[in-house]
Amino acid sequence: MSKQLLLLAGDFVEDYEIMVPFQALQAFGYTVHAVCPGKQKGQTVATAIHDFEGDQTYSEKRGHNFALNASFDQIRAEDYAGLIIPGGRAPEYLRLDAQVIAIVQHFFQADKPVAAICHGAQLLAAAKVLEGRTCSAYPACRPEVELAHGRYAEIAIDAAYTDGKLVTAPAWPAHPAWIAQFVAVLGARVSL
């Protein structure tokens, strides 16, 4: 199986949640292709800074422009060993795209590793792949996980949860655990 991973990006993806897995997984040695429907390699997606600054929910500021390194309409899900779904405000609208849904479903049907974080669970719910599975998600997305017949894992904000090949986490503070569990599911071994 290939060492290529696919990352589903969109405008206003959370800035950390796209760049940290994109770069960390490359540092491990994987090839990671970041794509967005309707955009080509070299184009950018706008990112959002989601942070907690004293309000009842996260604030949003404008982040970096993230440059895609592959073209959505030229990739084939079959060529990838695993899928990464960052959070932020991108999953909300990406779930309306039939090809995006088909890509998500491919990885579950093929029993390949999938890592989703934060609002990434919105894509899993819309793809109807959560039935019978336990996953974490941004806590405010719990109702969506449950409407989609998934079991919501109540874990710490910096923890991750692995159910079979599905690795999920509540938000970017969980990146270290989430990435470590994902590379483990992908079969990597690290000795320090």
Residue numbers at the binding site for a second copy (CB under 8 A): 3, 10-12, 15-16, 19-20, 23-24, 26-30, 36-38, 45-46, 48-49, 51, 53, 55-57, 59-65, 89-90, 92-93, 95-96, 122, 125-126, 139-144, 147-148, 172, 175-177, 179-180, 183, 186-192
DSSP codes of every residue in 16-70: HHHHHHHHHHHHHT-EEEEE-TT--TT-EEEEEEEE-SSSSS-EEEEEEEEEPSS
For a second copy, the closer of residues 106 and 173 by Cβ is: 173
On whether the CB atoms of residues 137 and 115 are closer than 8 A, the answer is no
For a second copy, the closer of residues 92 and 163 by Cβ is: 92
Q: CB neighbours (10 Å) of residue 163?
A: 16
User: 54: which residues sit within 8 A by CB, 6+ positions away?
Assistant: none
For a second copy, the closer of residues 107 and 182 by Cβ is: 182
User: To the nearest whole angstrom, how small is the minimum distance from the Cβ of residue 111 to a second copy?
Assistant: 19
User: To the nearest whole angstrom, how small is the minimum distance from the Cβ of residue 74 to a second copy?
Assistant: 18
For a second copy, the closer of residues 3 and 106 by Cβ is: 3
User: To the nearest whole angstrom, how small is the minimum distance from the Cβ of residue 129 to a second copy?
Assistant: 13
User: To the nearest whole angstrom, how small is the minimum distance from the Cβ of residue 31 to a second copy?
Assistant: 10
For a second copy, the closer of residues 40 and 59 by Cβ is: 59
Stretch (H or E) spanning 6: strand 4-8
User: To the nearest whole angstrom, how small is the minimum distance from the Cβ of residue 110 to a second copy?
Assistant: 19
* Residue 11 backbone dihedrals phi, psi, to 5 degrees: -60, 140
Residue 168 carries which DSSP code? Answer: E
User: 17: which residues sit within 8 A by CB, 6+ positions away?
Assistant: 86, 87, 88, 117, 118, 120, 171, 172, 175
